[in-house]
Amino acid sequence: MATPLMPHATAAWLVDNTGLSFSQIADFCGIHILEVQAMADDMTGSKYTGRDPVHAGELAMDEIEKGQADEDYVLKMSKGPDQVRRTKGPRYTPVSKRQDKPDGIAWLLRNHPEISDGAICKLIGTTRNTIAAIRERSHWNIAEIQAKDPVTLGLTSQRELDAIVNRAAKKAGIDNTAANDARLGTDRDALIEELRAERTEAARRAEAALNGEDENVGKAELTADTLFKKAGE
C-alpha cells in the first residue's frame, strides 16, 4: 500500500487538524499506532512540521470526512508520491571514479571509433571537449592516460556498452556478430572453468574431511586398545 511522501509530518498534521482515530492515521501513514499516540501527547509532534496531505493531493477531504464518521473506515490515498526518475543527460559518476574517465574514453576511441561522441558522453558522463582533447592528444594529462575497458573501471555496465556498440555498428553498417559471439564464447569458457575449479576444490575438501575422520577413528581405536591392554596388565 502506498504511503505519503512524508509519513510522520503527514501524521502530525492529521492529528492536529482532523478527528481521525490513531489507528486510521497509522494505517494511512504506514507508521506504528504508538508513534501517532506519542504525537497526540505532544511527545514527538514538536519534532515534525505538519504536512497537509490534502494540499499535496495525497488525500481527499471527502476521505477525511468518511473516516471521521466511521472509525472502521480505511482511508484511500488519492495518489502515491511521485517516483524519482532518472533524467536524460550525462551519467552521474562517483568522485572516486571520475579520474578513470579519460582512460575509459581512450579505450572507446581506440576500440570502437564508430561510437559517436554523444553516445560516449551519455555512456560515461563526460563532455565532447574532453573526448576531442583525448582524440587529438591535446588533453592536459595525456601522458598519464592509459586505455582501459570502462566496464572494468566501473564506469558502465557490459550490457549498456554492448547496446551502444551494436547500435553504432548497425548505423555504420558493421557486422558485429562475430565479435559478440567471440566474447560470449570467452565468457562461457571462463564460467565453465570456474565451475570446474569449484567442483574440484569441493571434492578435495570432501576427501580431506573423510581422511580426517578415518584418522580420528584410528586414533580412537588405538587409544581403546591401549586402555584395554593396561587394564589387563
Note down the domain range covering 205.
186-233
Most confident by average pLDDT, 76-85, 143-152, 208-217, 218-227: 143-152
Give the span between the Cα atoms of 14 and 3, in whole angstroms. 14
Of 127, 148, 174, the one marking the end of a domain is: 174
52 falls within a domain: yes
Residue 160: Cβ within 10 Å count: 15
pLDDT tens for residues 15-40?
A: 889 999 999 999 999 999 988 888 88
Which letter does DSSP use for residue 153 in this model? T
Q: Are residues 100 and 170 in the same domain?
A: yes
Residue 173, SS3?
coil
Q: Are residues 139 and 99 in the same domain?
A: yes
Enter the C-alpha cell of residue 26: 497509522
Q: Are residues 49 and 116 in the same domain?
A: no
193 falls within a domain: yes
Q: Are residues 57 and 100 in the same domain?
A: no
Please give the tally of structural domains in the chain: 3
97: pLDDT strictly greater than 80: no
44 falls within a domain: yes
87 falls within a domain: no
Claim: this prediction has a pTM higher than 0.85:
no
146: pLDDT strictly greater than 50: yes
Side chain identity at residue 52, one-letter code: D
39 contacts 15 by C-beta, under 8 angstroms: yes
19 contacts 68 by C-beta, under 8 angstroms: yes
